């Protein structure tokens, strides 16, 4: 089986949507460190349990977390494979912008054109 590294446009949209909310970024950060129950996650936010469940669902739809049942609890953990794919995407964007900035720097470093429209002395 070949691991897919490129994200589709839909996956990219879901990824950026999921990462747009501070609560979801915090849930992702917490679940990278350790698998946690939705109840434990919800206890740390000033919002309803249902609201936290919705945040988890958005992260799950983006593939950033995996949820599993253990008895009556739902445990959430970050998916390092999707995080690696997201990191690769951001790295490609960084490379693109760095090359554009490098080209701009090179253009600005070129000497001024010898065809200066200002009149020379004696004209």
Tens of pLDDT, residue by residue over 46-99, are 999 999 999 999 999 999 999 999 999 999 999 999 999 988 888 988 889 999
What is the predicted pLDDT for the residue at 7? Answer: 84
Q: What residue segments make up the domains of the chain, in order of their start?
A: 9-79
Fold of 9-79: Arc Repressor Mutant, subunit A (1.10.10)
What is the predicted pLDDT for the residue at 37? Answer: 96
- Kindly tell me if the per-residue pLDDT of 109 is higher than 80: yes
Rounded average pLDDT over 19-24: 96
What is the predicted pLDDT for the residue at 107? Answer: 87
Instruction: Read off the pTM.
Output: 0.75
Residue 15: phi and psi, rounded to 5, are -60, -50
Averaged pLDDT of the chain = 88
pLDDT band at residue 121 using 50, 70 and 90 as cut-offs? low
- Report DSSP letters for 57-116, one per residue: HHHHHTTSEEEEEETTEEEEEE-HHHHHHHHHHHHHHHHHHHHHHHHHHHHHHSPPPS--
């Amino acid at each position: 089986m070949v691991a897919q590294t490129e994200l589709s446009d839909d996956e990219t949209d879901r990824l950026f949507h999921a990462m747009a909310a501070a609560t979801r970024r915090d849930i992702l950060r917490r679940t990278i460190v350790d698998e946690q129950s939705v109840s434990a996650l919800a206890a740390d936010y000033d919002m309803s349990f249902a609201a936290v469940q919705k945040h988890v669902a958005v992260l799950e739809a983006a593939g950033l977390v995996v949820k599993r049942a253990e008895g009556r609890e739902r445990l959430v953990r970050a998916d390092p494979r999707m995080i690696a794919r997201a990191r690769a995407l951001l790295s490609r964007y960084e490379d693109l912008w760095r090359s554009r900035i490098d080209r701009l720097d090179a253009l600005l470093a070129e000497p001024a054109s010898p065809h200066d429209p200002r009149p020379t002395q004696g004209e």
